Amino acid sequence: MKERDKQQTAGDQCAKCGACTAVCPVYQVTGRESLTARGRLHLLNRLTNPASPTFGKIVSACLLCGACLDVCPRKIDTLTPLIRAREQLPLSARHRLPGKLAARKTLASPRLLGGLAALRRQLLQHLPKTSGLWLKLALLPEDYAPEEARPAPPAGQPSGGPPVVSYFSGCLARYLSPDISAATDFLTRRVSGAPLLIPAEQTCCGLASFSAGSRQEALDLARQNIAAFAGHDLPILTSCASCYSHLRSYAALLADDPQWRRPAEEFSARLREFSRFFLAAGLAPPSAPAAAEEADTLHIFYHDPCHLRFGPEKTMEQPRRLLAAITGAPPLEPADGPHCCGQGGLFHLAHPHLSQQIFAAAVRQLPEPSASHVVTSCSGCLLQWQQGLRRAGFSGRTCHLAVLLAGIIRRRGG
């Protein structure tokens, strides 16, 4: 069936019940039906000019959070028509909004320009041009510094015992926040007695390319990652929820490629999500009790990444159980349930005002001043919370779940 026919079919299947509209973070702040799954399914059947500004706005103003997909009673694939529509955008339009914004922000701030230049020189000289992190970096604050910075474990197979788990680090943990890689390695040694195997040939998961409609680039990155983890059958652990979600989709992405279909299926089957992995492995704190002052000051708020909240494999209970096992108390809960943080990969660059409005709604759920830490397990969410809370003057710490857990265990002598 042709793409246009599939799109038409999805639109025809829609019962117009509005369940997707009610849960859409973009609708909640704009009230615009045209920017919801229901509105988009019908409009895309009528709009025929991908170069028009209306087409560009309708297909770009989506976080790809999956909330609509999750509630649709007819199980309509609301996202594939959108991704296919993005692929129709002229090349210049695909990157126009993020590129313009990044350039404008960077050029407007000599300090940011200097900071970025220094970052690029010192930290990012090996960052592949295909990494989605380049776009995210353009909006990092001048004083960005990873929490509890520690050296990254060496690439390739480290000495000292054969690894039993391999690691897909993702661009943030690999290039900018090696403390996340180091913390994940520390936790893995604790549960398995061996370091992580970190193939040096791995690259960006390709989610940014896929989301921007650059399908060929996303396919090339997927093949490179599958090849990087070939040659052994170790489980593949990843500490980023968005990477995990996209890596899982490799099997579907390469389903029509006779050479890569089977390797992609095997690759996807080996993936392990961070909190599920460490919960199943029995990660536990040292037997020494926490210092009284630490127990009294740890009030942790866990942000659920949309990529773990929605879809067939919902992972909300596991990070909470893991936090409770290590800290001795369940995390603080948002006042009326989890919210999207508004980052959405390229969404926060293409639609910064919408992104901030959605983030503001998420922050209102934060039980401050009682929260001492905001933690999450997704690179995009982490950057959004770190930047947003810094702007808001939050006095606590914002860090990756791995960094928090490793820090607690280390302080207790683990």
Query: 74 to each of 10, 20, 92, 204, how far by Cα in Å?
Result: 10, 11, 35, 34
Given 14, 112, 281, 325, the residue binding ligand SF4 (CB under 6 A): 14
37 belongs to the binding site for ligand SF4 (CB under 6 A): yes
67 belongs to the binding site for ligand SF4 (CB under 6 A): yes
Rounded CA Rg of the chain: 21
405 belongs to the binding site for ligand SF4 (CB under 6 A): no
Given 3, 18, 232, 333, the residue binding ligand SF4 (CB under 6 A): 18
| CA atoms of 381 and 358, how far apart (whole Å) | 12
346 belongs to the binding site for ligand SF4 (CB under 6 A): no
Side-chain half-sphere of 74: how many Cα atoms within 13 Å?
17
Task: Closer to ligand SF4 by CB, 28 or 157: give it.
Answer: 28
| CA atoms of 177 and 167, how far apart (whole Å) | 15
139 belongs to the binding site for ligand SF4 (CB under 6 A): no
Task: Closer to ligand SF4 by CB, 314 or 321: give it.
Answer: 314
| CA atoms of 364 and 358, how far apart (whole Å) | 10
Strands (E) located in 147-250: 166-168, 236-238
Burial class (CB in 10 A: 0-12, 13-18, 19+), 362: buried
22 belongs to the binding site for ligand SF4 (CB under 6 A): no
Question: Smallest distance from the beta carbon of 248 to ligand SF4, in angstroms?
Answer: 17
58 belongs to the binding site for ligand SF4 (CB under 6 A): no
Q: What one-character DSSP code corresponds to residue 173?
A: I
| CA atoms of 226 and 230, how far apart (whole Å) | 6
66 belongs to the binding site for ligand SF4 (CB under 6 A): yes
Question: How many chain residues touch ligand SF4 (CB under 6 A)?
Answer: 27
Residue with tokens 């776009």: 135
Question: Smallest distance from the beta carbon of 70 to ligand SF4, in angstroms?
Answer: 8
Question: Where does this chain touch ligand SF4 (CB under 6 A) — which range of 16-24, 211-219, 250-258, 360-368?
Answer: 16-24
The pair of structure tokens assigned to 283 is 């990660």
12 belongs to the binding site for ligand SF4 (CB under 6 A): no
> Rounded to 5 degrees, what angle do the CA atoms 22, 384, 103 make?
110
238 belongs to the binding site for ligand SF4 (CB under 6 A): no
Q: Write the binding mask 95 to 114 for ligand SF4: x where contact by CB under 6 A, - elsewhere.
A: --------------------
Residues forming contacts to ligand SF4 in the complex (CB under 6 A) are 14-20, 23-26, 36-38, 41, 62-68, 71-72, 74, 76, 78
